[in-house]
């Protein structure tokens, strides 16, 4: 599903280029749940941005679901972001003026689907996540855990190749965070491929595999 070979990325600091990722090789098989674990400044956000096609590597190869990402134009990358990747963010990134249903169906409407058709297509996912009774509410009327469920629903409805979660429990209390992680486990058992970025070892342990990132270098966690 994901195959990265010798990925390098750096950023200019004044006249000097500072390396952030160093010869990163990373594999994720279809149906895996993988956590990328690292502290602040380790390069995990940069790696996430490259996985999510929001940034491109300086060198190396990146294949996503058979597509050669490193050879794509910006327009092609935008298509991959919209169709192949379901994003789940720490701060939810819901549109405050939209109700919950409008937020969830937005990816399908952007693709040109009629709102009514999009609503019908999304209902199974909405029921799965237990938010069917809150569809006419605004995000401000929901708890943090409910907002994250909406974010997950929005990520799922486009039927992406992977779910990419950035610190998905970071804004939640412990109980709500555990519920979200249980939900990820359920989705993974249904066959969804999940890559989760986190700084928290306890959160990472919910994944089937943990990969450590330190100073821009990846290593498999022991055990």
Q: How many whole angstroms separate alpha carbon 181 and alpha carbon 192?
A: 14
CA nearest to 95, candidates 76, 113, 109, 81:
109
This prediction has a pTM of 0.92
How far the first Cα of the chain sits from its last, in Å, is 23
Q: How many whole angstroms separate alpha carbon 138 and alpha carbon 199?
A: 30
pLDDT value, residue 163: 96
pLDDT value, residue 12: 86
User: What is the per-residue pLDDT across 46-56, written as a single tens digit (0 to 9) for each?
Assistant: 999 999 999 99
Which pLDDT band, with edges at 50, 70 and 90, does 14 fall under?
confident
Domains of the chain: 2-220 (3.40.50.300)
Q: CB-based burial of residue 70 (10 Å sphere; 0-12 exposed, 13-18 middle, 19+ buried)?
A: middle
- Tell me: pLDDT of 38 over 90: yes
Q: How many whole angstroms separate alpha carbon 24 and alpha carbon 4?
A: 7
- Tell me: pLDDT of 223 over 70: no
pLDDT value, residue 222: 66
User: What is the per-residue pLDDT across 87-146, written as a single tens digit (0 to 9) for each?
Assistant: 999 899 999 999 999 999 999 998 889 999 999 999 999 999 999 999 999 999 999 999
The answer to whether the CB of 207 falls within 8 A of the CB of 33 is yes
User: What is the per-residue pLDDT across 65-98, written as a single tens digit (0 to 9) for each?
Assistant: 999 999 999 999 999 998 999 999 989 999 999 9
* pLDDT mean across residues, the chain: 93
pLDDT value, residue 110: 87
Angle at 171 between CA 194 and CA 86, to 5 degrees: 30
Give bridge partners of residue 201 from the DSSP assignment. none
List the structure tokens of 160: 């992406």
DSSP-based three-state secondary structure for 80: helix
């Amino acid at each position: 599903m994901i195959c990265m070979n010798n990925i390098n990325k750096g950023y200019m600091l004044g006249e000097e280029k500072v390396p952030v990722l160093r010869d990163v090789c990373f594999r994720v098989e279809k149906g895996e749940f993988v956590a990328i674990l690292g502290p602040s400044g380790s390069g995990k956000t940069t790696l996430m941005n490259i996985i999510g096609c929001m940034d491109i590597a300086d060198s190396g190869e990146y294949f996503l679901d058979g597509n050669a990402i490193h050879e794509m134009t910006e327009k092609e990358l935008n298509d991959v972001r919209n169709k192949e990747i379901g994003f789940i963010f720490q701060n939810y990134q819901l549109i405050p003026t939209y109700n919950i249903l409008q937020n969830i169906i937005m990816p399908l409407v952007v693709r040109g689907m009629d709102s009514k058709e999009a609503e019908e297509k999304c209902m199974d996912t909405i029921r799965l996540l237990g938010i069917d009774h809150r569809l006419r509410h605004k995000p401000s009327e929901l708890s943090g855990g409910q907002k994250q469920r909406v974010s997950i629903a929005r990520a799922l409805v486009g039927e992406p190749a992977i779910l990419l979660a950035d610190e998905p429990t970071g804004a939640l209390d412990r109980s709500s965070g555990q519920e979200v992680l249980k939900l990820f486990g359920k989705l993974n058992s249904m066959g969804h491929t999940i890559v989760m970025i986190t700084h928290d070892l306890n959160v990472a342990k919910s994944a089937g595999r943990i990969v450590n990132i330190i100073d821009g270098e990846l290593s498999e966690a022991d055990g």
